[in-house]
């Protein structure tokens, strides 16, 4: 029979393995996907802990310190490990009369891990601890790991908050698309007939509209006086308006192919109710596909949000997202003078690639019986 | 072999199933595939009726209509239950549920017929669970018993189907079909997807189970060689229609329909000298979406007359239990196979 070979243990293990174990074993073979998964998890941790990882108040404006270049940490003092930053001294350039900052090596500000900084709230509780804090001066005035933007705000801290916004908008948008996609795709695939035809035509029409002009139109239609939160949700809705179509297709396709499986017929003949057939037989076999499709949909959402905000049609300041940050890097001049403003492209690229690798790996592993 | 005194368990009359063919943006119906086009047959309690025909002639569709996985376009499906006869054909899904347990199906493809995400226990016990046997221990005992019955070890209960070969999967499918003690089991080409070496084992299992449990079997096959030893009667199907039904010995020795004769000629013979006799079917199987006029078989029939091109032959009983749909049934003497 099925057993009795040299490695009865391994055989036994496989024959008792559930769907998720098999998927996991298959996923484990995808090195790239696993690296992607780790990076994605790290990024979402950053999104969760943005307040803690930032050390400066992202809205703290100081025009005097605009466009400061990155200002590094000194890790050793007198050969001992004692991280500190030097102070900054403002002088006026005698030729251009522009204010420039030079490092003042006579002033040292020690850095503390888990020290006190600006106050933040999480789940209604107030905290003031940060991963990095400066002793002797407000962090906003001396610590600039990645430099500052044109209003003198610390880029590192803003990047932390931008990561939170951009990643959650992707997640929220996908959740909404998922809801619409499963509902409409499920109806389409399960009932078929004229309803299916209608939904498929609607999807085709939506997908044939070029996305950028559509988003631009919708984005431009958002009232200027809306609050940051309102715009945030409006953008999610706009993004998922298109995002659901792909997921609906995946769901419909799975439903259609599952309807043909004999085990579905067998379940019906056994006397199972519709609900039992859907939830006991159909959903488990496309859940993994949905997860993969969802993972692949998130990067598209993130890119879209970034593009929209970059064009000034998505989130608007004071909201902080990757796209909003990159708005500062829009002209060649600012790039030439302050190249650190392009740094926010790095997380965009890294996250998009990681999510794509992860999604690819999940998609390959999603059907362990194929 | 056939016992005419036994009561008729399943009586199918003028069963039709047409699938619409849709075209274009609005999915207009431009025609129909007549997958099942007037099937009439009956099965007596305790016997095996084989339904034989080439691929695509509508055997699976017939089987699925009978178990009501599909809704027939028209016709009657009369099933004798414990409290009388019911016509299943017009019943909506909801009203079918109490009848389902009397009829179960064994599928052709052992890989598609078992949910890969469920253990053997879940697969085999599901019919019991949804029919009110909630107690887990009762179901475990019954599953163990069923697995033993089909030749599998009860310890396999916790395993998933991917651990099993095609033949073993087919056994699992049989165990599931038997879970509710159905009176009628429809086996849709249960061995044609299996290795030749395993086919005989599964056929023997079905025969044993039939004898042991007094099952009534409707056995679907695509050639006559398989059915000879397992069925009391054979129904031959061509393009959605039953062309001939007869007790197995009669059908093999003295067929009355030219199509049956041709199928018999195609059965592999042990005697190599008889090879020359393979006069075979010419032409293509008719398209069920666009069948010929009159008798569907006339374009390929060696004995066709003008009448056959225009008038559809009716099924008539030429002898006891022997039904033929052919205008020339009574005048032709056709060649069967003597002995094998
Ligand atoms: N769901 C369906 N929709 C349209 N046509 C179908 C469908 N199922 C079967 N058919 C057609 O009906 C005919 C009979 O098919 P089937 O019953 O599977 O034959 P068999 O089991 O004898 O090989 C074939 O021509 C097939 O293409
Ligand atoms: Mg078939």
Distance CA A8, CA B254 (A): 55
Best CA proximity match to B37, nearest among B282, B220, B289: B289
CB contact under 8 Å between A15 and B126, yes or no, is: no
Is there an atom of ligand 1 within 6 Å of B246 CB?
Answer: no
Q: Are A306 and A326 in contact (CB under 8 A)?
A: yes
- What is the predicted pLDDT for the residue at B330? 87
Closest to B267 measured CA to CA, from B233, B225, B226, B237: B225
User: Is B162 in contact with A272 (Cβ distance < 8 A)?
Assistant: no
Task: Give domain status of residue B83, yes or no.
Answer: yes
Measured in Å, residue B63 CA sits from the centre of ligand 2 at: 9
Pocket mutation for ligand 1, best pick of B34, B35, B288 (most atoms within 8 Å of C-beta): B35
> In chain B, what is the greatest distance between 2 CA atoms, to the nearest angstrom?
67
Contacts of A14 in chain B (CB under 8 A): 162-163
Burial label, A198 (beta-carbon count in 10 A; 0-12, 13-18, 19+): exposed
Residue nearest (by alpha carbon) to ligand 1 atom 10: B35
CB distance B226 to ligand 1 below 6 Å: no
Tell whether B180 is covered by a domain: yes
- How many domains is chain B built from? 1
Task: Tokens 């888990």: give the residue.
Answer: A114
CA of B36 to the centre of ligand 1 (A): 9
CATH number where B80 lies: 3.40.50.300
Tell me, using a 6 A CB cutoff, whether residue B61 lines ligand 1: yes
Contact list, B168 vs chain A (CB under 8 Å): 1-2
For B107, the closest of A1, A22, A266 (CB atoms) is A266
Q: How many CB atoms lie within 10 A of CB B132?
A: 7
**Taking a C-beta distance cutoff of 8 angstroms, is the pair B51, B230 a contact?**
no
Q: Mean pLDDT, chain B, as a whole number? A: 89
Q: Do A14 and B162 touch (CB under 8 A)?
A: yes
Report the range of poorest mean pLDDT among A6-20, B12-26, B254-268: A6-20
Q: Assign B271 a pLDDT band (cuts: 50, 70, 90).
A: low
Strand arrangement of the beta sheet that strand A74-77 belongs to: A74-77, A80-92, A99-122, A125-134
Q: Are A272 and B130 in contact (CB < 8 Å)?
A: yes
Q: Which atom of ligand 1 is nearest to the CA of B54?
A: 22
- Does the pLDDT at position B17 exceed 60? yes
- The closest of A314, A167, A185 to A238, measured between CA atoms, is A314
Residue of A nearest to B117 (CA): A19
**Closest ligand 1 atom, residue B64 Cα:** 17
Q: Is the CB of B66 under 6 A from ligand 1?
A: no
Select the residue of B107, B115, B131 nearest A271 (Cβ to Cβ). Answer: B131
SS3 track for chain B: CCCCCCCEEEEEEEEEEEEEEEECCCCEEEEEEEEEEEEEEEEECCCEEEEECCCCCCHHHHHHHHCCCCCCCEEEEEEEECCEEEECCCCCHHHHHHHHCCEEEECCCCCCCCCCCCCHHHHHHHHHHHCCCCCHHHHHHHHHHHHHHCCCCHHHHHCCHHHCCHHHHHHHHHHHHHCCCCCEEEEECCCCCCCHHHHHHHHHHHHHHHHHHCCEEEEEECCHHHHCCCCCEEEEEECCEEEEEEEHHHHHHCCCCHHHHHHHHHCCCCCHHHHHHCCCCCCCCCCCCCCCCCCCCHHHCCCCCHHHHHCCCCCEEEECCEEECCCCCCCCCCCCCCCC
Q: What is the pTM of this model?
A: 0.80
Using the atom order of ligand 1, give the atom closest to the CA of residue B59: 22
- Tallying the residues shown for chain A, one arrives at 370
- With contact defined as beta carbons under 8 Å apart, do B235 and B54 qualify? no
d(CA A276, CA A266): 13
Residues of chain B with Cβ-Cβ distance to A369 below 8 Å are 116, 162
CB A268 within 8 A of CB B69: yes
- Residue nearest atom 25 of ligand 1, based on CA coordinates: B56
Is A271 close to B127, i.e. CB distance below 8 A?
A: yes
Q: How far is the CA of B323 from the centre of ligand 2 (A)?
A: 23
Write out the residue range of the structural domain in which residue B139 sits.
8-238
Q: If you search the block for the tokens 């000879």, which residue do you land on?
A: B228
Instruction: Rank A208-212, A314-318, B83-87, B139-143 by mean pLDDT and report only the highest.
Output: B139-143
pLDDT at A8: 60
Structural domains in chain A, CATH included, are 62-149 (no CATH), 158-365 (1.10.3720.10)
Q: Omega into A188 within 30° of 0, i.e. cis?
A: no
- CB of B163 within 8 A of CB of A14? yes
Contacts of B46 (CB under 8 A, 6+ apart): B6, B214, B215, B216
Q: Which two tokens stand for residue A55?
A: 């050390």
User: At which residue do the structure tokens 């908008």 appear?
Assistant: A169
- Enter the tokens of residue B325: 């749909």
CA distance A138 to A141: 6
Q: For atom 1 of ligand 1, which residue has the closest CA?
A: B19
φ, ψ dihedrals at A128, nearest 5°: -135, 15
Specify the residue with its C-alpha closest to ligand 1, atom 16. Answer: B58
What was the pLDDT predicted at A304? 84
Report the distance separating Cα A85 and Cα A83, nearest Å.
7
Interface contact flag, A271 B26, Cβ < 8 Å = no
Tell me if B77 is assigned to some domain. Answer: yes
Q: How high is the ipTM of this complex?
A: 0.90
For chain B, say whether A204 makes contact (Cβ under 8 Å): no
Per-residue pLDDT tens digits for B118-136: 999 999 999 999 998 889 9
**Contact between chains at A15 and B64 (C-beta distance less than 8 A):** no
Which residues crowd ion ligand 2, with CB under 5 Å? B 60
B196 domain-assigned: yes
pLDDT tens digits for range B102-116? 999 999 999 999 999
Q: Indicate yes or no: CB of A19 within 8 angstroms of CB of B162.
A: no
Q: Which of A314-323, B10-19, B236-245 has the lowest mean pLDDT?
A: A314-323
Task: Please report whether residue B327 resides in a domain.
Answer: no
* Inter-CA distances, B209 with A8, A351, B121, B177, B185, Å: 31, 60, 20, 12, 11
HEC string for chain A = CCCCCCCHHHHHHHHCCCHHHHHHHHHCCCHHHHHHHHHHHHHHHHHHCHHHHCCCCCCCCCHHHCCCCCECCEEEECCEEEEEEEEEEEEECCCCCCEEEEEEEEEEEEEEEEEEEEEEEECCEEEEEEEEEECCCCHHHHCECCCECCCCCEHHHHHHHHHHHHHHHHHHHHHHHHHHHHHHHHHHHHHCHHHHHHHHHHHHHHHHCCHHHHHHHHHHHCCCCCCHHHHHHHHHHHHHHHHHHHHHHHHHHHHHHHHCCHHHHHHHHHCCCHHHHHHHHHHHHHHHHHHHHHHHHHHHHHHHHHHHHHCCCCCCCCCCCHHHHHHCCCCHHHHHHCHHHHCCHHHHHHHHHHHHHHHHHHHHHCCCCC
Q: Is some CB atom of chain B closer than 8 A to the CB atom of A272?
A: yes
Pick A263's closest partner by Cβ from B27, B112, B152: B112
Residue B319, domain member (yes or no) = no
Q: How many CB pairs under 8 A join A and B?
A: 87
Tens-level pLDDT at each residue, chain A (370 residues): 444 445 567 777 778 888 888 888 888 888 999 999 999 999 999 999 888 888 888 878 877 777 777 877 877 877 788 888 887 776 777 777 666 777 777 788 888 888 888 888 888 888 888 888 888 777 777 788 888 887 878 889 999 999 998 898 888 888 889 889 988 988 888 887 888 889 999 999 988 888 778 877 877 888 878 887 788 888 888 888 888 888 898 889 888 888 889 999 999 999 998 889 988 998 888 888 888 888 888 888 888 888 888 888 788 778 888 988 888 888 777 777 788 888 888 999 999 999 999 988 888 888 777 6
Residues of A with Cβ-Cβ distance to B104 under 8 angstroms = 269-270
Q: Given A18, A261, A284, which is nearest B112 (Cβ)? A: A261
Residue B158's φ and ψ, nearest 5 degrees, are -85, -5
Q: Is ligand 1 within 6 A of the CB of residue B60?
A: yes
Chain B positions in Cβ-Cβ contact with residue A194 (cut-off 8 Å): 27
Residue-level pLDDT at B269:
66
CB neighbours of residue A45 within 10 Å? 12
Put simply, the answer to whether B159 touches A272 (Cβ < 8 Å) is: no
How many whole angstroms separate alpha carbon B325 and alpha carbon B305? 14
Q: Which of B67, B91, B139, B160 is best to mutate for the A interface (most A CBs within 10 A)?
A: B160
Cβ count within 10 A of residue A126: 8
pLDDT in tens, B162-191: 889 999 999 999 999 999 999 999 999 999
Q: Is A117:A93 a contact under the CB 8 Å cutoff?
A: no
At CA A49, angle to CA A48 and CA A52, rounded to 5?
160
- Asked if residue B37 is part of any domain, the answer here is yes
The answer to whether residue B12 is domain-embedded is yes
- The residue whose CA is least distant from atom 2 of ligand 1 is B19
């Amino acid at each position: 029979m099925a057993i009795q070979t040299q490695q009865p243990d391994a055989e036994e293990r496989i024959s008792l393995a559930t769907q998720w174990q098999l998927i996991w074993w298959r996923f484990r073979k995808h090195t790239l996907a696993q690296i992607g998964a780790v990076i994605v998890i790290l990024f979402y941790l950053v999104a969760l802990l943005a307040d803690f990882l930032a050390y400066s108040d992202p809205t703290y404006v100081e025009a005097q310190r605009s466009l400061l270049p990155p200002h590094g940490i000194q890790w050793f003092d007198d050969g001992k490990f004692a991280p500190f930053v030097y102070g900054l001294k403002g002088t006026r350039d005698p030729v251009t009369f522009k204010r420039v900052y030079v490092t003042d090596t006579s002033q040292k500000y020690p850095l503390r891990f888990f020290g006190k900084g600006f106050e933040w709230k999480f789940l209604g509780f107030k905290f003031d601890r940060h991963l990095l804090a400066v002793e002797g001066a407000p962090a906003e005035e001396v610590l600039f790991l990645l430099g500052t933007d044109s209003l003198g705000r610390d880029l590192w801290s803003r990047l932390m908050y931008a990561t939170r916004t951009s990643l959650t908008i992707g997640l929220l948008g996908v959740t909404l698309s998922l809801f619409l996609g499963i509902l409409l795709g499920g109806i389409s695939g399960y009932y078929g007939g004229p309803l299916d035809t209608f939904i498929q035509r609607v999807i085709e029409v939506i997908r044939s509209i070029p996305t950028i002009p559509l988003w631009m139109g919708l984005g431009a239609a958002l009232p200027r006086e809306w609050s940051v939160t309102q715009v945030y949700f409006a953008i999610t809705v706009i993004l998922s308006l298109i995002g659901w179509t792909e997921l609906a297709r995946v769901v419909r396709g799975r439903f259609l192919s599952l309807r043909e499986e004999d085990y579905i017929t067998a379940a019906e003949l056994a006397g199972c109710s519709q609900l039992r057939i859907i939830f006991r037989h159909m959903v488990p076999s496309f859940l993994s596909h949905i997860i993969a499709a969802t993972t692949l949909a998130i990067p598209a959402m993130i890119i879209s949000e970034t593009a929209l905000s970059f064009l000034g049609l998505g989130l608007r300041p004071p909201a902080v997202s990757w796209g909003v940050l990159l708005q500062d890097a829009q002209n060649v001049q600012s790039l030439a003078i302050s190249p650190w403003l392009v740094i926010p492209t790095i997380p965009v690229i890294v996250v998009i690639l990681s999510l794509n690798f992860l999604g690819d790996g999940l998609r390959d592993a999603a059907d362990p019986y194929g | 072999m056939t016992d005419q005194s036994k009561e008729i368990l399943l009586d199918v009359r003028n069963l039709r199933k047409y699938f619409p063919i849709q075209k274009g943006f609005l999915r207009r119906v431009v025609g129909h595939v007549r997958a099942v086009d007037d099937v009439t047959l009956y099965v007596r309690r305790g016997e095996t009726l084989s339904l034989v025909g080439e691929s695509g002639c509508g055997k699976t569709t017939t089987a699925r209509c009978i178990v009501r996985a599909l809704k027939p376009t028209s016709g009657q499906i009369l099933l004798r239950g414990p409290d009388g006869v019911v016509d299943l054909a017009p019943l909506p899904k909801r009203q079918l549920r109490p009848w389902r347990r009397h009829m179960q199906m064994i599928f052709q493809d052992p890989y598609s017929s078992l949910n890969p995400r469920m253990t053997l226990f879940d697969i085999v016990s599901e019919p019991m669970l949804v029919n009110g046997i909630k107690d887990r221990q009762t179901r475990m005992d019954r599953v163990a018993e069923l697995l033993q019955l089909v030749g599998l070890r009860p310890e396999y209960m916790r395993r998933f189907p991917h651990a099993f070969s095609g033949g073993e999967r087919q056994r699992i499918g049989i165990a599931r079909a038997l879970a509710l003690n159905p009176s009628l089991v429809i086996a849709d080409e249960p061995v044609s997807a299996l290795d030749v070496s395993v086919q005989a084992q599964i056929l023997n299992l079905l025969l044993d189970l039939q004898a042991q449990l007094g099952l009534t079997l409707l056995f679907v096959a695509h050639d006559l060689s398989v059915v000879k030893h397992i069925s009391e009667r054979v129904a031959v199907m061509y393009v959605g229609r039953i062309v001939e039904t007869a007790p197995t010995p009669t059908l093999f020795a003295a067929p009355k329909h030219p199509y049956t004769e041709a199928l018999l000629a195609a059965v592999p013979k042990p005697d190599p000298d008889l090879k020359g006799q393979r006069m075979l079917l010419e032409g293509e199987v008719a398209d069920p979406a666009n069948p010929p006029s009159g008798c569907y078989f006339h374009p390929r029939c060696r004995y066709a007359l003008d009448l056959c091109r225009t008038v559809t032959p009716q099924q008539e009983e030429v002898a006891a239990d022997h039904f033929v749909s052919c205008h020339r049934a009574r005048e032709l003497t056709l060649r069967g196979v003597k002995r094998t």
